Amino acid sequence: MNEIPDYIGPMAMGLKMGVIVPGMDIVDLTFRSVKRCYEDELLDDGDVICITESVVARAQNNYVTVEEVSKEIRNIFELSEDGTIGVVFPITSRNRFSMILRSIAEAVPKGKVIVQFSFPCDEVGNQTICPEFVANLGKDRITMEDIEGMDFKHPITDMNYIKYYQDIIAKTGADAEVVLSNDPLYILEYEPDAVIAADIHTRTQTKKTICAHFHNCITLCELFNDGEVYSHWGLLGSNMSSGGRLKLAPKDGDQVVGTIQKRIRDELNVHVEVLIYGDGAYKDPTSGIYELADPSVTVAATEGLNLFRRGFKFKYLADTLHHEGKDVEEIEDILRKKRAESGSESSMEREGTTPRRMEDILGSLADLVSGSADAGTPVVLVKNFLT
């Protein structure tokens, strides 16, 4: 391989692969893309191959229909068509939740769906209701009567999600009611037959709180988490697709990354790490939205990425050493040696460099390079990151 100059640090390159459709072999497609890098002397031991979950799931044809989800909900809860379902803490997202809500409503077309939003934002930072209105209202529970005639629109998408979710439910024939409360137990006052904890990162605690008082409650992770078409995350991590379908997160992720790693090692004699990534874990400073609508940044990763990234606060060290009278050559020599030392995590030299999971950093980097930029590069090659 061409040796990268020592003045080049970590770098990430998006790899174009063309359109990927159901039935394609994602392992072979990824290998061929990486092989091109190898032939152009761009691949080295220690590189990381990052693949977006979207193309993996699409190639796997990992889709479920609205009708299949509705049937599964009726079966799990043993519901009749005139039953009542409570939905607690969904995020406000057309892509992530609108079709799930439609599926829930179609499970009880002669019944009722109560959606309970958290406020003033959902758990990923999407505004559900105007914070100033909430402050002036001074209530910890907000009903449809409290907001009658008002039009609360999301400041970025300009969508009124309260009305949008009401309309989705109403189109199925079910009665719709939307309430806002940050107390998950509030939903029980509506005497539902079943409750779905629809939150992402806080789902376990939400379900635990509800189940202490009500037995018929599940999370979205418990729908389609096994069987022929499934995801480890169930319906969480799914995306709206065409034809009344939901694309689930990939299945058998560990097998996919392991097979890709092995094939690259066997055929190219290069050892790389491989991960499948979803949403990056970062908060947009303009909108205030926390981008991680997946339960985790990483769907699957090879064993070599099961570690934390640690580092030294080199700015602090450089300032300290210069203050002590060291010249530039002495400072650089000391910094090189510090890189090789372990040191205490609580030392001043590590202040501001809290260890983070390598998978989270790499997945977020790949998402920024490829996914969030809509760059048409579903594979990202990351170099000089693990060294």
Q: What is the pLDDT of residue 349?
A: 46
- Whether residues 18 and 85 share a domain: the answer is no
Q: What is the pLDDT of residue 2?
A: 57
Q: Please give the residue that has the higher pLDDT: either 314 or 203.
A: 203
- Whether residues 285 and 335 share a domain: the answer is no
| Residue 186 reports pLDDT greater than 80 | yes
- Whether residues 269 and 205 share a domain: the answer is no
Instruction: Judge whether 20 and 58 are in contact, CB under 8 Å.
Output: yes
Q: Please give the residue that has the higher pLDDT: either 35 or 2.
A: 35
- Whether residues 286 and 324 share a domain: the answer is no
Tell me which residue has tokens 């043993």. Answer: 78
- Whether residues 88 and 199 share a domain: the answer is yes
Using the 3D structure, point to which of 247, 271, 286 is the last residue of a domain: 247
> Bridge-partner residues for 274, per DSSP?
49
| Residue 340 reports pLDDT greater than 70 | no
Q: What is the pLDDT of residue 156?
A: 86
| CATH number of the domain enclosing 268 | 3.30.1330.100
> Is 355 inside a domain boundary?
no
Lowest mean pLDDT among 172-176, 218-222, 247-251, 370-374: 370-374
Model confidence pLDDT, tens digit, residues 274-299: 999 999 988 888 888 888 999 999 99
In order of 87, 163, 280, 351, 385, the CA distances from 134 in angstroms are: 21, 18, 30, 39, 45
* Per-residue confidence band for 9, with pLDDT thresholds at 50, 70 and 90: confident
| Residue 198 reports pLDDT greater than 80 | yes
371 contact partners, CB below 8 Å, separation of at least 6: 52, 54, 277, 279, 280
Using the 3D structure, point to which of 196, 230, 247 is the last residue of a domain: 247
> Is 365 inside a domain boundary?
no
* Per-residue confidence band for 3, with pLDDT thresholds at 50, 70 and 90: low
> Is 268 inside a domain boundary?
yes
- Whether residues 291 and 334 share a domain: the answer is no
Backbone angles phi, psi at 338, to 5 degrees: -65, -35
- Whether residues 82 and 173 share a domain: the answer is yes
- Whether residues 80 and 222 share a domain: the answer is yes
Q: Which of 148, 92, 158 is nearest to 119 (CA)?
A: 92
> Is 226 inside a domain boundary?
yes
* Per-residue confidence band for 306, with pLDDT thresholds at 50, 70 and 90: confident
B/e letters for 344-372, b = 16+ CB within 10 Å, e = fewer, are eeeeebbeeeeeebbbbbbbbbbbbbbbe
| Residue 1 reports pLDDT greater than 80 | no
| Residue 159 reports pLDDT greater than 70 | yes
- The H helix count followed by the E strand count for the chain is 11, 16
- Whether residues 267 and 329 share a domain: the answer is no
- Whether residues 70 and 54 share a domain: the answer is no
How many of the other CB atoms lie within 10 Å of CB of 335?
14
Share of the chain above pLDDT 70, in %: 91
- Whether residues 229 and 287 share a domain: the answer is no
Using the 3D structure, point to which of 197, 221, 247 is the last residue of a domain: 247
Model confidence pLDDT, tens digit, residues 42-64: 999 999 999 999 999 999 999 99
> Is 161 inside a domain boundary?
yes
- Which whole number is the average pLDDT over 19-39? 95
- Which whole number is the average pLDDT over 236-259? 95
In order of 15, 75, 196, the CA distances from 106 in angstroms are: 41, 13, 14
- Which whole number is the average pLDDT over 95-122? 96
> Bridge-partner residues for 115, per DSSP?
87, 178
* Per-residue confidence band for 372, with pLDDT thresholds at 50, 70 and 90: low
Share of the chain above pLDDT 90, in %: 73
Q: What is the pLDDT of residue 350?
A: 44
> Is 131 inside a domain boundary?
yes
Tell me which residue has tokens 């037995």. Answer: 215
* Per-residue confidence band for 351, with pLDDT thresholds at 50, 70 and 90: very low
- Which whole number is the average pLDDT over 320-335? 80
The whole domain housing 38 covers 11-61+250-306+375-383
Mean pLDDT, the chain, whole residue set: 90
pTM over 0.85? The answer is yes
Domain count, the chain: 3
Q: What is the pLDDT of residue 161?
A: 94
* Per-residue confidence band for 5, with pLDDT thresholds at 50, 70 and 90: confident
208 contact partners, CB below 8 Å, separation of at least 6: none
- Whether residues 68 and 164 share a domain: the answer is yes
